[in-house]
Each structure stands twice: as C-alpha cells, then as structure tokens.
C-alpha cells in the first residue's frame, strides 16, 4: 500500500516547527500540500505546493489525512468540513472552543469510520516520559501531590490571535490542553476541577495566568501556566508517600526544531537535564532523562489511518481533555469547584 497523502490547513509556526517535520519523518505519510490564503505565500517545505483554500486541498484525492493548524475558533468548522469530505483529521490543540463541539465532532468521526485525533505531541516529551516512568516504577510510592508547570517570560502583550481576546485565545486554551492531557494520561479523569484563570499583564485582552487544581481522592494535581515567570519554575514537582521527583527544565524538542534539528538527527530529543529523585531519607539521585520523540504522534496516526493501530489520542481521551478545559473555565468564572462525577 502506498503512502498516505497529507495536507495541512495553515502555514504558521505550528506547521513549520511541528507538523511538517514530523510528517516528513514518517515513512507512511507524504506531505502533499499546505493551505495558505496569502498571495505569494512560500511553502516551508521544498517541493510541497501551496494551495489557496480548503476546497482546493480537498479536491486532491491523493490527500487522505488533513491537519487543521489554524486559530482555535476555526477548528470545529474546518474539522467538520474535512470529515464530511471523507478524510482523516488531526486538529491542533485546543480541539474545539466548546465541549459540545468536541462531542459532536467525535460522534461524526465515529459515524463516518474516520480517524480523528488532536495533536497531543507532548505525550512524548522528555520530561513527561521521565516522570511517568518513575511513577510507574513506584519510585516514590503513591502520588499525593503533582505539579505541572508550563511557564514563560513574555511580560508584554503581542499582536497575535492567541492574545487578542477572541474565542479560543489565551494561555489556558494554548497550554492547558498539554497540561491536562498529560495529567489524564497519568491519573485519569478527576472528580472535580477548581481554577483561577486571569489576565494579569497590563493591556492583556485574554487570560495569561492559569492555576488549576484537579481533585482526586487522596491526591491533588496542580496545572499552572503563566507569562511573567522569569527563570521559570520546575517543570514537574511530584510528591509521594515514598519520596519526591523534580524535573527542572522543559523538553527541548520545540527549541531543537526551531534551530533546524530534525527527527533522526543524533541530538534530536536529547535532554541533558536529569530527573532528580529525593528518596525521603535524605538521599538525592539523578536519573538520566529518556530521549523525546514527539514525531511518534504521526507514526501512530499513520497506523491508525491504515487500520493497523490505535490513534495517538483516542476519541474518549480528546473529549475528556476538553471536558476538563471547559470545567476550569466555568470554575474560574463562577468561583466554585466544578464536579466531573457522573
């Protein structure tokens, strides 16, 4: 069977840094076209053509998988259009702006027998892989307190859709899906969510601060993202009945891709920042961090489209992320914990 043709809707940073290189790293996929409405737009990949709109992309019957990498508020309509055209779909995070839309799209994909997934590439981050492995091995016993930070130092508001106050803008829609997806992969759905989400920078039109607590029996999971964190906080702090884990720095793959490295290069996914284990008896041990492999997302997506493996993020999983995302927004707006119990 030949390779699956792939089209990308959107020609921004996500396409250049993540989607195009990762698709090209997968032998079962062939990047065929990128949608960019701007006249004279240049393809970020030599030999890959630019088409002016989604209709032109879908008119190419060699395209079997479409990636939606556009502003958040457009995801639902575009994903629906692609599914109705009979193509498999990857949607950038956040999946949708509203939970109801996420459920509708999942139902449509199931009805049409198509593979639909969300780009939860950070399941293959070095930092997360290290923490997950240590937890699974029982290194710190039962986890009681888990903190996941995704902080930046960008004190000045920039002119871009992610910060303009439009639907789906703001740090919680931007970084929250990554934080939520990793937490749910470790611990499943929480019983309840409580959140403080706010715009703290001068002139900010959309939230730039999010502090969200997922409540589990005997455990609290804190998800935090901020835009005024010079020097950063530890990426992960995990405390258990038998010790603690600290991972200081963020996975390097995004920075490596920006610098021109690609999957398969010797240094790709190499993270020299170790996971630190405090054993509870005064001992401290450095654990080498495994290599990251975000490109695994598309390897799994290709197998799912070919009918020989599961999607990298299943329908139940992507809807569950959206459920927590929305519950946090309700909690922050109403000043109360939001139950996720049936």
| Those residues with Cβ within 8 angstroms of residue 120's Cβ, 6 or more apart along the chain or in another chain | 93, 177, 178, 181, 297, 312, 313, 317, 318, 321
Q: Measured between alpha carbons, how far is 293 from 264 in angstroms, rounded to an integer?
A: 10
Q: State mean pLDDT over 71-77.
A: 97
CB atoms within 10 A of CB 337: 16
Q: What is the pLDDT of residue 1?
A: 56
Longest dimension (CA), the chain: 64
Domain range summary for the chain, segments of one domain joined by + = 4-121+298-312, 123-292+323-339
Written out in words, the top-level CATH class of the domain with range 4-121+298-312 is alpha beta
CB atoms within 10 A of CB 317: 18
Q: For residue 24, give the H/E element and its range.
A: helix 20-24
Q: How far is CA 338 from the centre of its chain?
A: 23
Q: What is the pLDDT of residue 342?
A: 81
**What dotted CATH number matches 123-292+323-339?**
3.30.360.10
141: alpha, beta or left, given left = phi > 0 and alpha = psi -120 to 50? left
Quick check: do 4-121+298-312 and 123-292+323-339 share a fold?
no
**Full-model pTM:** 0.96
**pLDDT tens digits along 118-139:** 999 999 999 999 999 999 999 9
How far, in Å, are 85, 229, 320, 339 from residue 302 at the CA level?
18, 38, 23, 36
pLDDT class of 276 with cuts at 50, 70, 90: very high
Q: Measured between alpha carbons, how far is 213 from 136 in angstroms, rounded to an integer?
A: 22
Asked if omega into 94 is within 30° of 0 (cis), the reply is yes
Which residues is 239 bridged to in the sheet? 145, 244
- Provide the percentage of residues in the chain whose pLDDT is more than 70: 100
Q: What is the pLDDT of residue 87?
A: 98
Cβ atoms of 337 and 126 closer than 8 Å: no
Backbone angles phi, psi at 49, to 5 degrees: -80, 155
């Amino acid at each position: 069977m030949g390779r699956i043709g792939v089209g990308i809707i959107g020609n921004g940073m996500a396409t250049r840094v993540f989607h195009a290189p990762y698709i090209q790293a997968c032998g079962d996929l062939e990047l065929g076209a990128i949608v960019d409405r701007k006249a004279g737009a240049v393809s970020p990949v030599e030999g890959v053509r630019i088409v002016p709109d989604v209709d032109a992309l879908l008119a190419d019957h060699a395209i079997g998988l479409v990636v939606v990498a556009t502003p958040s508020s457009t995801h639902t309509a575009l994903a629906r259009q692609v599914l109705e055209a009979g193509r498999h779909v990857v949607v950038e995070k956040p999946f949708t702006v509203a939970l109801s839309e996420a459920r509708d799209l999942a139902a449509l994909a199931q009805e049409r027998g198509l593979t639909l997934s969300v780009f939860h590439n950070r399941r293959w981050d070095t930092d997360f892989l290290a923490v997950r492995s240590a937890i699974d091995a029982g290194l710190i016993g039962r986890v009681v307190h888990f903190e996941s930070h995704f902080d930046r130092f960008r004190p000045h508001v920039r002119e871009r859709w992610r910060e303009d106050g439009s639907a789906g803008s703001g740090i919680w829609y931007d970084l929250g899906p990554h934080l939520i997806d990793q937490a749910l992969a470790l611990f499943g759905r929480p019983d309840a969510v409580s959140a403080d989400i706010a715009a703290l920078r001068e002139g900010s039109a959309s939230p730039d601060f999010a502090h969200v607590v997922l409540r589990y029996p005997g455990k609290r999971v804190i998800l935090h993202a901020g835009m005024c964190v010079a020097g950063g906080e530890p990426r992960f702090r995990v405390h258990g009945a038998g010790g603690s884990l600290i991972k200081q720095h963020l996975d390097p793959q995004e920075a490596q891709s920006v610098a021109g490295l690609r999957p398969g290069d010797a240094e790709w996914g190499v993270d020299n920042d170790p996971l630190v284990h405090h054993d509870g008896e005064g001992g401290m041990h450095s654990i080498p961090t495994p290599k990251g492999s975000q490109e695994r997302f598309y390897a799994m997506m290709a197998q799912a489209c070919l009918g020989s493996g599961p999607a990298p993020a299943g329908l139940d999983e992507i809807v569950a992320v959206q459920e927590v995302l929305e519950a946090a927004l309700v909690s922050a707006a109403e000043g109360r914990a939001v139950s996720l119990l049936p």
